[in-house]
Structure 1
Amino acid sequence: MQGWRTSPAAARWWHVVTVLIIAASLITQLVLVFQGTNVLVEDGEEAPGTAMRVVNFFSFFTVQSNILLGIGAAILALNPRADGRGFRVLRIAGLIGIAVTGVVYVTLLRDVVDLEGAAAVTNVGFHYLAPLLGVVGWLLFGPWPRIDLRVVVLSLAWPIAWLAYTLIRGEVVDWYPYPFIDVIEHGYGRVLLNAAGITVVFLAVGWLFAFGDRRLGDRAGSPDLPRTR
């Protein structure tokens, strides 16, 4: 079992499958967005134009976290022992993002929309398969150790930037990707409180990954964190 877990070939195949599922979900959903199908608007509302739908699609934290995880998995498919400061930040940002995506969706968003057909399939890819493949793949294949406090802090720059972008754009276009961050419905006080709660979740998940990274690295007999550029 240990040999299978440390096999570069097994790691590559796992990461390839991760990339393929994320890519298939992204492409399929993007086609639906262009077609004006399942554009995530309330019943009775007029669907926005194509350009707006595409921008809205890429404004979802779920989509961005899947993209980051997919890029990291693609790098690892080419080199299962990839390293470097930039890669570490990218990797942990994708892992934290996809883990939070899965948790928030299951606990808060699962019943918000009623999807059918291809949209329901891509929803499974985005919110169930990608988080599962990402986290389990990291537990099985690492690479570890790759996470320290600086990496975790740098990885949080993306969700902070996403929040700022979402609030500023929401003021302009009157659209927010998730109910708990909808200023029109809740006001800034409640939205900022919700954001603070999600931030705590991010910090907790980041700490879990950092703790697990060190423990898994020690168990696998990995050396201390190498110096990176």
Structure 2
Amino acid sequence: MTVLVIAASLITQLVLVFQGTNVLVEDGEEAPSTAMRVANFFSFFTVQSNILLGVGAAILAARPAADGRAFRVLRIAGLIGIAVTGVVYVTLLRDVVDLEGAAALTNVGFHYLAPLLGVIGWLLFGPWRRLDVRIVVLSLIWPVAWLVYTLIRGEATDFYPYPFIDVTEHGYGRVLLNAAGITVVFLTVGWLFLLGDRRLGNRAGSHPADDLPRAR
């Protein structure tokens, strides 16, 4: 279900992007080129977190016993990313956009259904006992890289996917302060997943020695 929701949302929104529908530009501004719209679309943390979650879920659907360090990092990066996406959207961004029709449906898929399905699916089915501090830290390299990429690209294109990291509007000082606040959210969510991974694994009768040595 998670893979289907994400795939449907991505495909539908990509069609809208190619059509130039619901482009997030200020009133009176000229819509960017198709290539720029596509690049902007894939620059959203929301889109990237949905893709990572979808890829991890698809791998598990095809191979339930999938494991290894790279897979563990991919899986938890998608879960942490999608959880933060849901939290940040509901608390900071829900009232920023006004979407209709298919775009409103994809918005629900990206920001509500995918986070709920991803987290609930992990709580119910795992796999658990796959995390340690190193895996979680490695998974957080991607959000940091995304922020650096976004700020560098923003300087070149004047496009910032979210208002709280818009340097043009707020300046670097405020943006870095906002980023620090979001970092706290990431660390908190990562810690919760790590804690949940251990407790759920213990309840299921799994032990660290069963899984961790295989993470190569």
TM range (shorter): over 0.9
Aligned partner of 1:226 in structure 2 is 212
CA drift of 1:223 comes to 2.0
Task: Give the one of 64, 72, 79 matched to 1:88.
Answer: 72
- Percent sequence identity over matched residues? 85
Aligned partner of 2:25 in structure 1 is 41
2:29 is aligned with what amino acid? Answer: E
CA drift of 1:148 comes to 0.5
Unpaired runs of 5+ in structure 2?
none
Runs of 4+ in structure 1 over 6 Å off: none
1:221 is aligned with what amino acid? Answer: G
TM-score (norm 2): 0.98
Aligned partner of 2:136 in structure 1 is 152
Q: Deviations over 1:76-125 (max 9, x none)?
A: 10122321100000000000000000000000000101000000000000
Q: Deviations over 1:114-141 (max 9, x none)?
A: 0000000000000000000000000000
Partner Cα distance (1:172, 1:142) in 2:
41
1:125 is aligned with what amino acid? Answer: G
Partner Cα distance (1:184, 1:178) in 2:
12
Q: How many residues align?
A: 213
Unpaired runs of 5+ in structure 1?
1-16
TM-score (norm 1): 0.92
2:95 is aligned with what amino acid? Answer: D
CA drift of 1:226 comes to 2.5
Match of 1:226, SS state, is helix
Partner Cα distance (2:180, 2:63) in 1:
37
Aligned partner of 1:56 in structure 2 is 40
2:145 aligned with 1:161, yes or no?
Answer: yes
